[in-house]
Structure 1
Amino acid sequence: MVKRIIGGLLCCCSMVYGQNRSEAVTLTLNDHWLFSQAGTEKWLSAKVPGTVHQDLIHHQLLPDPFYGVNEEKIQWVENEDWQYKTSFTVSEELLNREGALLTFEGLDTYADVYLNGSLVLKSDNMFVGYSVPVKSVLRKGENRLQVYFHSPVKLVMPQQASNGFNYPADNDHHKEHLSVFTRKAPYSYGWDWGIRMVTSGIWRPVSLRFYDVATIDDYQVKQLSLTDEAAQLLHELEVKSVSAQEEQAEVVVSYSLEGGAKTTIRQEVRLQPGMNRIRIPMELPHPVRWMPNGWGKPTLYDFSAQVVCKDVTVAEQRHRIGLRTISVVNEKDKAGESFYFEVNGIPMFAKGANYIPQDALLPNVTTERYETLFRDVREAHMNMIRVWGGGTYEDDRFYELADENGILVWQDFMFACTSYPSDPTFLKRVEEEATYNIKRLRNHASLAMWCGNNEILEGLKYWGWEKKFTPEVYQEMFRGYDRLFNELLPAKVSELDGDRFYKHSSPYFANWGRPDSWGVGDSHNWGVWYGKKTFESLDTDLPRFMSEFGFQSFPEMKTIATFAAPEDYQIESKVMNGHQKSSIGNALIRTYMERDYIVPEKFEDFVYIGLVLQGRGMRHGFEAHRRNRPYCMGTLYWQLNDSWPVVSWSSIDYYGNWKALHYQAKRAFAPLLINPVQQGDSLQVHLLSDELKTLDALTLDMRLIDFNGKLIKKESIKFLSLPANTSMCVYRQSLASLLTTEQRANCFLSLTLKEKSGHKVAEEVYFFEPTKNLNLPQASVSYKVKQRNGSCELTLTSSQLAKDVFIQVPIQGARFSDNFFDLLPGETKKVTISSPSLNKEGKLDITIKHVRETY
C-alpha cells in the first residue's frame, strides 16, 4: 500500500526489517476529529480535511450559505476562534524508529498545534505545508493532538488599526480591508463574483510518518538539454539524515516509459547528520516529448529516487515527468513587444481561460471534480489555464491532470488587485510560501511560467489610488511593489526554478483607452463590459496576448433554482442582487442585450438570451485574436468556472453545467476553423489552423440559404493549401455582390471545408445581421429520444431555421455532445446527453428552446 504525504514523499506501510533498518510507515490522521467554538465545551464531530463552515453546516448550525441571502447569516463565524482535536495510538515498535514527522499539508490559517501538551507548530500561512519532527513528544499508547484556530479577522485587527490607512482591497467586503495582511486565499474575503466566506480549518490532509535513517525532503528532475537524440537530466535530492553519525547508503534513481522497462542508476553516498544535497546526472536516449493538447500526446515518464541503507529502502519519492521545452518569447519588435509561448521550439497560439478556485469551501473539491474540469478543458480544445492570483496554489492533483491532459499552466503567485504590505514579517512569510510552492510544482511539465501578481501594477498606475492616499503612502506602495515583485519573487524563481519565465505582473501594460499599449506584452481588455464597448471593438483593440477579457451571464434556470425561489425570479430581486457581485452587472447585461437581441419579458427567457449573448459575444473576440496571429498569440478569457452558484463571467457554472460560452469556446478553439467576418462593406473568409502540418487540396464550399431551406446561390474555392499553424484569408467579396439588403435579414451563409476525399474538416454558419434584425421563422423543433442507462440520444429536426437551440434537462452536470447550436432547415442533428443519473426506464424531462420563442 502506498501513501502520499507532503512534498510527494511515498511511504510503504508494510514493515520490512533488515539489520535494524525498516521501511517508513505513515499513519493518516484525517479521522475521528472533533471541533468546538473556543470558549465552549460543546465538541462535535468534524471532517478533516475540512473547514469550520462545512462542519457547522453538517450539524445544521449554519444555513446553506449559497441559498437566498444566507451569506449575511454566516458572517459571525469569521469573528470566532475554533478548536479541533483528535487522538491516536502509537506502538512501542513505532516509537523505536529513529524519526517521526508530523505533516499538515494545509492549515487555514492562524493555528497553534499542540501534541501531548507541547506546542509543536504555529501556522500563519494557508499556502504552506508544515512538517515538524515530533519523536521527542510522542508517547506509547494514546497521543492527543489539538489545533487552535485564531479568527483571521480579529487577529489582524490591531495590525490594520496601527497601519494608518485602509489598503485599496475593494474586493474585501469588509469595512476594514484585512485580507492584505493575511497569507490566505484572497477570494474568501469576497470578490466581484464571490461570496464572502472567511474560512478556518485543517484544509489539507494530516499524516504522521515514522522512519529510519533519512527522509527525502525534495527531489527535482532537472532537464539540462533536450534533443531528438538524447535528454540530459540531473537528479537533485535533498536528503535529511536523522542519524547521529555518518551513514553509508545508496541512492537509486530510475525511470520508465508507460510501464516499460526500467532504467536504473545507482550512486554510493555517505550521509552526514542533517541535510545532504546529492546530484546524479543521467542521459535518456531518444526521448519522447510531452506535447500540448491538440499537438500530440502529453507523454510522461515515471521517475523515482530511493535511499537504500543495508538493503532496505528507507525513503522514496516519485514523479511523473514530461520532457519538453517551453519558452516565453517576450521581445521588442516593430509593433512593440511580443508575448507568446514556444513549445518544443514551435510557436503556440494559447487558447484557454482564467481559473478560479472551484469552491468557496476548498475541501469540497473532489478528485472527480478535478477530472471533470480537465475533461471540460480538453474537450474545448484548450491548451492553457491561467491559475489566477486571487485564489490559491492548487492541489497536486490539479497539476497532475494538467500534465496528463497536455494543458499548460500560467501560474500566478497569490496576489491580486491591491497593494500589499512589505514589512520584514510579511516578506518572510511570502519567501516561505514561494519556496514551498516553487519546489512543490517545478517538476510538472505543464507549468509554463510564474507571474508575480494580477493587476497590481495597473492598479497603482491607473486606478486612481494616487488620489486616495497621501504622496508618502502612495510612493511606499511602489517601493513595496518592487520589494515583493521585482526583488523577492524573481529571486526565488531564479534560485529554485531558474529555467522558467517570470513576469512581475499581468497585464504587462494598462490599456484602458490607451491605443499605444495594445502592441506591448499581455493585455486585460475590460473595455468590453466595464467600458461598455461593443463586441466588435475586439476586432480592432488587438493585443499581442489577451490574458483576460470577459462578459457575464446568469447560470441556467436549474442552477438558479438551487439558490432562489420563483418569487425571486426578477433581475433586480434581493436574491438575484445577492448573487450578482458586480454592482453594474445585471443592468449591463440588459444594455448589451438590447444592442443585438429583442429583450424578452419573461425572466427565464432573459436568462436564456443572456447565455446566448455571452457565448456569441465572447466568440467574436476569440476569432479576432486567432485571426490576427502572429501579431496576437493567445486568448485566455475570464473566467472558466465558479466557486458558488452565481451570476458571473464563467463558461461553466458551479454545478458543472456548460454555458453557451463553453460550447462557443469549443467551436472557436477547434484546430481548424472557418472564420467569416464583415470588414467594412465586404465579407472576408479566413481559415485558421493550429495543426502542425500543411493541409493541401482543400475545397471551401459556400452556400447562401434562406431560413426555410431554399438555396439562393453557391460557390466553391478549390485546391486550397493551408500552411501549418497559421491564419489565412482565402475569400473576399463585397456584400452588395453577394446578396441584397433584404436577403441579409432572411438568409445565412453555410460554409464547409473539405479534403480531396470529400471528408468534411470544418463547418460554419454565418449571419449577416444582428439577431434582433433577422426575420426568424416560428420554427417547430421535433425530436426523437433513445434512452439508455447513463445516456440518451436526441435526434432533432426542423423544416425552418431554429436559432441557438438550447436543450435543457433537470440534471446538474449532465453532459451534452452539443448545445446552443443553430438547427438548420432540413438538417438532422443528433445530440447525446450523458449522466450517471440517466436510466433506460425513467422518462427524461426535456425542454427545447430557441430564440424565436422568446418574443
Structure 2
Amino acid sequence: MWKIILAVLWTSLFSLGNTALADSLTLHSNWQFSKYGSDEWLPATVPGTVHQDLMALGKLPDPFYGMNEKEIQWVEDEDWLYRTSFMLSEEQLAHQEIFLVFDGLDTYADVSLNGVCILKANNMFVGYRVPVKHVLRSGENKLLIRFRSPIREAMPQWETNGFIYPAANDHRAERVSIFTRKAPYSYGWDWGIRMVTCGIWRPVCLEFANQAEIEDYFVCQQSVTSDRAEVDNRLEIRNLGNEIREAQVKVTYAYGQEESRSVEQTVRLQPGLNTVSLPLTIESPHLWMPNGWGEAALYDFRASVCMDGETVASQQHRIGLRSIRVVNEEDSLGMSFYFEVNGIPMFAKGTNLIPSDALLPRVTRERYVRLLEDVQAANMNMIRVWGGGVYEDDALYEEADKRGILVWQDFMFACTPYPHDPAFLKQVSEEVVYNIKRLRNHASLAMWCGNNEVGEGMKYWGWKRKYGPEIYQQLADGYDILFRKLLPEKVKELDPGRFYLESSPYEANWGRPESWKRGDSHNWGTWYGQKPFESLDTEIPRFMSEFGFQSFPEMKTIHSFATPEDYDMESPVMNAHQKSSIGNFLIKKTMGLYYPVPEKFEDLVYLGLVLQGHGMRQGMEAHRRNRPYCMGSLIWQLNDSWPVVSWSAIDYFGNWKALHYQSRRAFAPVLVDAIREGDKLRYYVMSDVLKTKDVVLQMELMNFKGKVLRRHQVEGKLPVNSSVVFYEEDWNQAFAACDTTTSFIHMTLKDRHGREILSDEVYYPALPKSQHLPQAKISCKMKKKNGAYELTLKSDQLARDVFIEIPVQGVRFSDNFFDLLPGVSRKILVTSGDGCALEDLTVNIRQLGDICSIEHE
C-alpha cells in the first residue's frame, strides 16, 4: 500500500541556486520503484538512482568491489518506474499557481500526475518546472515516473546513423552515449567504471506561488574597479494574474555587518513575463580576491517584489564584486592565454575536477566542502570543471566563491564529435540556457569552454582519414554549429562579458610542441608519449590546462575492492580497476627511469605514489619558472569517481596521494626551486605575493648524515607576482669534492630578519636510483590531542619521502610524503575526515630508503 505524506514544509526554496520566497513541499518521502513489467514495488530513496536502490536491497552487488562492474550492466537495458503520493489541502490548492519542480531527472523520463502526462524529460543536465495546478486534487495525489533505458532509447539512432561516432570512452560496442544529453563518463572512461544510471538524481518539490514570482535574477557586473562597481540588477518577473499590476521592485545589498543599502523602482507588471532593470553604483567596493591574494569578499544581494505592501516574491545571491579578464591575444611569441583578476595577471595554479562519484546523489555538500578545502589547502586558485562529467551542484560553486577559487567551466562535451540534428540542438540549447542562468552569478565563474579535446580531435586524431571526406564534413559542420555558433551566441546573450573558449586545448597538441605557443595546452607526452618527466622542463606551453601521470591509490583503498590474492599489478581485479590501456606497464617503465623497481606489490604501490608526486611536481615548477610566457598549470586530475588506478591527486575516499602534497609545495605562495640548466645550477624564486620585501636565501650543502659541507647565503628582494633567477653558480663547483650520491642542498628563504621562513626546500644532484640512501631509523612519538593525534618524527639520517600510513579512510595529515632531514624533528597533526575523534591509531611509516638501500646492498 502506498504511504501518504502529510507534512508541509514552509521553507525557502533553492531553485536554480537562488533563494525564492515561496511555500514549498519537498517530495523526498515514500517513494517506491519497480522494474517495468514487474508487479514488485520496493522502497526507494529520492534523490537517488536505481543502482543505489537495488544495492540497498541486496539485489545488486557493490559495483566497486572486485570485478562486479560486469554484474551490474543489465540495469542499463531496463526501464524503471518510480512512484509516490502526497496530500494537499484546499488552502494549498487556493494558490494562484503550483509548480512541480525537478532539479534533475536522469534522463529519459515520462512524468504522470493524477493520470495526466505532464512532462517528457530527455536531458539530465536541466531542471524542469512544470505548472500543475490544473491537475492537482485536494487530498491524495499520485505521481508516477517511467525512466526509459538510455541505451534502448538511443539505439534506433545508432542503428540508422550510417557510421559509428569515435566515442572511444563509451565501453560498449553500441556507442549510443553520443546521442543522449547525459553525463558522458557514466558510459565509461579511461579512469571510470561504466554505470549508466537513471533516477531522480536531484531534489524534487512542489512550489506554491501567488500574484507574482521572480523567475530569474542576474546581478550583471558591468564594470568593477577598486574605486567603483557598476551593477545592473536584471530581473525576470512573472505576473501570475490576468491584469496589469503595480509592484515595487527593490534590491538590497550589504557586505558583512555593514549597513545595507537599497535601490527600488515602481513598475507596472503586464500579465506573463516582465523584465526589470535596477542599476546601482557601489563606491569603494570590497573586491573578491583569488585564494592567496586576500579575502574572497562576498556581498549579500536580495531582490524582492511587493504588491499592496506585501512581499510576494524574492530571491537572493551572494555576490563577489571583481573583474576577470582572459587575455587570449596574439603577441610576439604566439598567442597568450592567462587570467587577469582585478587588473592583476594571475598565474593559475590548479586542477581538473571530474564528478566525485559514479553515483552522483552520494555527492553531498559535505563532500564538496571537503574537496574545496583540499583545493584551497594546496595553494590552488583554479579548478576546471571538465566536460565529460556534469554541471556540478550549486554547492560546489558556492564553496568556490567562499574560498577564492576560480572555476573554468566546460560545457558537457568531450573527446568526440556530436550530432547536430534539430532535436539534438534544441536539447543543447535548453541545457545551455538553464546552466548559464544557474551559474552566472557566481564570483568564481571565470570562463566558459565549449568542449574538452573535440577541437584537437578534429585536427589531429585521424578522423578525416578514418571516415573519409563526406562523413568528416558532417562532423565538421556539427562542430561549427555547436561550438562556433550555438554556444558562443548563448554565452554572449545570457552572460555578456564572460570569456568563451571554443575548445580546450585551443590549438596545441602534445605531439606537436610548436603548437604550444598558442593558447592553452594539454600535454600527454609523459603518458601516451611515454616521455621522461624531464621533457616537462623544456616543453613549455602558454597555459597548461591538462597534464598527468597515474598511480595506484594507497593500500587501504585497494583493500576496499581487492583481497591479498589480487595483489598483483596484472591480476584480473587490478586490471578491472585500471582503465588506461598502457597504465600498469607505463607506471613500471617510468619508475625504472628514476627508482629501482621493487617486486613486492605494496612497495610498488608506495613507490608509484612517490613517482607520480615528484614527476608532476616537476611540471608544475617548470610552468611557474617560465612565467610570464607560461601563466597556468592545471594538473589532471583532482579526484576519483570510484576506487581506481588513475591520475588523481585525491582518491575516492578523500585520501591525499603524494601528488596533492607535492602540489601544495609546488604551488606555495613563495617557492625556491633549484634546477640544473646546462653547466649552471640556478636557484629560482617564484612568488605570487603582491608586495616585495628584503629576503635572504641560505644554501647548505649537506650529506645524508646531516654534516654541513658548505654554507653560504645571498640577499635580495622578493619578486612580486613573478619568477626570477635569484642566484646561480657553476654546477660542478657547487658539488666540488662531494659525493653527489650521498648529499643534497638545503635551501631556506627567509625575510631579512630571519623571523619568517618563506620557503624551505631541498635539491638532490642525483636520481634516487643512484643515491645511496640509508635505512634511517625514524622515531615516532604519539600524543592524543582533542580527538586528534600529534606525531613527532625524528631521524639522525636523511629519510626521503616519508609516508605515514594509517588504516582509516579519509584521515587527514598536516603533512605527509615529506623528506625528514637529519636531526630535524617534524610534528604532524592527524585528524579524522569527518570531525569525529580518532581512537587507537595504528601507524606504519615508510621511506624511500627501505627500497633503495636494499637495492644498493
What TM-score comes out, normalization by structure 1 length? Answer: 0.97
Secondary structure at the residue paired with 2:777? coil
Say if 2:715 is the partner of 1:706: no
Say if 2:288 is the partner of 1:298: no
CA distance in 1, matches of 2:108, 2:839: 50
CA distance in 1, matches of 2:596, 2:838: 40
Shift of residue 444, structure 1, vs aligned partner: 0.5
Q: What residue in structure 1 maps to residue 16 of structure 2?
A: 7
CA contact (8 A) 1:114 1:120 kept: yes
User: Which residue among 358, 361, 364 is the counterpart of 2:359?
Assistant: 361
User: Which residue among 752, 767, 770 is the counterpart of 2:767?
Assistant: 770
Q: What residue in structure 1 maps to residue 7 of structure 2?
A: none
Say if 2:758 is the partner of 1:761: yes
* Matched letter for residue 588 of structure 1: L
CA distance in 2, matches of 1:61, 1:237: 48
1:560-599 equivalent positions in 2, closer than 5 A: 560-599=558-597
Shift of residue 49, structure 1, vs aligned partner: 0.6
User: Which residue among 99, 102, 105 is the counterpart of 1:104?
Assistant: 102
Shift of residue 513, structure 1, vs aligned partner: 2.8
User: Which residue among 841, 849, 852 is the counterpart of 2:849?
Assistant: 852
Secondary structure at the residue paired with 1:736? helix
CA contact (8 A) 1:455 1:505 kept: yes
CA distance in 2, matches of 1:494, 1:842: 55
CA distance in 2, matches of 1:669, 1:610: 21
Say if 2:817 is the partner of 1:820: yes
Give the gaps of 5 or more residues in structure 1. Answer: 13-23
Q: What residue in structure 1 maps to residue 144 of structure 2?
A: 146
Shift of residue 843, structure 1, vs aligned partner: 2.1
CA distance in 1, matches of 2:823, 2:228: 56
1:738-780 CA distances to partner (integer Å, 9 max, x unpaired)? 1147611010100001112212111111101110100101211
CA distance in 2, matches of 1:493, 1:367: 28
CA distance in 1, matches of 2:592, 2:275: 65
The change in CA–CA distance for 1:11 and 1:521 in structure 2 (over 3 A counts) is closer
* Matched letter for residue 751 of structure 2: E
CA contact (8 A) 1:300 1:320 kept: yes
User: Which residue among 55, 61, 64 is the counterpart of 1:63?
Assistant: 61
CA contact (8 A) 2:356 2:640 kept: yes
User: Which residue among 538, 548, 551 is the counterpart of 2:549?
Assistant: 551
CA distance in 2, matches of 1:275, 1:312: 20
The 10-residue stretch of structure 1 (220-229 or 629-638) with the greater mean CA deviation from structure 2: 220-229
Say if 2:455 is the partner of 1:457: yes
CA contact (8 A) 1:9 1:316 kept: no
Secondary structure at the residue paired with 1:572? coil
The change in CA–CA distance for 1:393 and 1:841 in structure 2 (over 3 A counts) is closer
How many residues of Structure 1 are paired with residues of Structure 2 in the alignment?
842
* Matched letter for residue 745 of structure 1: T
Say if 2:781 is the partner of 1:781: no
CA contact (8 A) 2:225 2:323 kept: no
CA distance in 1, matches of 2:589, 2:837: 44
Secondary structure at the residue paired with 1:288? coil
CA contact (8 A) 1:11 1:25 kept: no
CA contact (8 A) 1:677 1:685 kept: yes
1:220-231 equivalent positions in 2, closer than 5 A: 220-231=218-229
Q: What residue in structure 1 maps to residue 397 of structure 2?
A: 399
1:621-636 equivalent positions in 2, closer than 5 A: 621-636=619-634
1:204-243 equivalent positions in 2, closer than 5 A: 204-243=202-241
CA distance in 1, matches of 2:576, 2:225: 55
Alignment RMSD: 1.2
The 10-residue stretch of structure 1 (27-36 or 567-576) with the greater mean CA deviation from structure 2: 27-36
The change in CA–CA distance for 1:510 and 1:839 in structure 2 (over 3 A counts) is closer
Secondary structure at the residue paired with 1:629? coil
Say if 2:124 is the partner of 1:126: yes
User: Which residue among 396, 416, 420 is the counterpart of 1:418?
Assistant: 416
CA distance in 1, matches of 2:544, 2:370: 26
Q: What residue in structure 2 maps to residue 641 of structure 1?
A: 639
The 10-residue stretch of structure 1 (323-332 or 827-836) with the greater mean CA deviation from structure 2: 827-836
Shift of residue 509, structure 1, vs aligned partner: 1.2
* Matched letter for residue 518 of structure 2: V
* Matched letter for residue 787 of structure 1: K
Q: What residue in structure 1 maps to residue 826 of structure 2?
A: 829
CA distance in 1, matches of 2:836, 2:781: 17
Q: What residue in structure 1 maps to residue 790 of structure 2?
A: 793
Instruction: Tell me the percent identity.
Output: 59
* Matched letter for residue 274 of structure 1: G
Say if 2:484 is the partner of 1:480: no
CA distance in 1, matches of 2:243, 2:103: 30
CA distance in 2, matches of 1:491, 1:274: 26
User: Which residue among 720, 725, 730 is the counterpart of 2:726?
Assistant: 730
Shift of residue 278, structure 1, vs aligned partner: 0.6
Q: What residue in structure 1 maps to residue 164 of structure 2?
A: 166
The change in CA–CA distance for 1:207 and 1:741 in structure 2 (over 3 A counts) is farther
Shift of residue 261, structure 1, vs aligned partner: 1.8
* Matched letter for residue 580 of structure 2: S
Shift of residue 8, structure 1, vs aligned partner: 3.6
What TM-score comes out, normalization by structure 2 length? Answer: 0.97
1:28-66 CA distances to partner (integer Å, 9 max, x unpaired)? 111111111000121111111100000000111000000
CA distance in 2, matches of 1:807, 1:842: 16
Q: What residue in structure 1 maps to residue 745 of structure 2?
A: 749
* Matched letter for residue 730 of structure 2: S
* Matched letter for residue 597 of structure 1: Y
CA distance in 2, matches of 1:564, 1:81: 32
Give the gaps of 5 or more residues in structure 2. Answer: 1-9
The change in CA–CA distance for 1:116 and 1:591 in structure 2 (over 3 A counts) is same
CA distance in 2, matches of 1:788, 1:57: 39
CA contact (8 A) 1:787 1:840 kept: no
Secondary structure at the residue paired with 1:693? coil
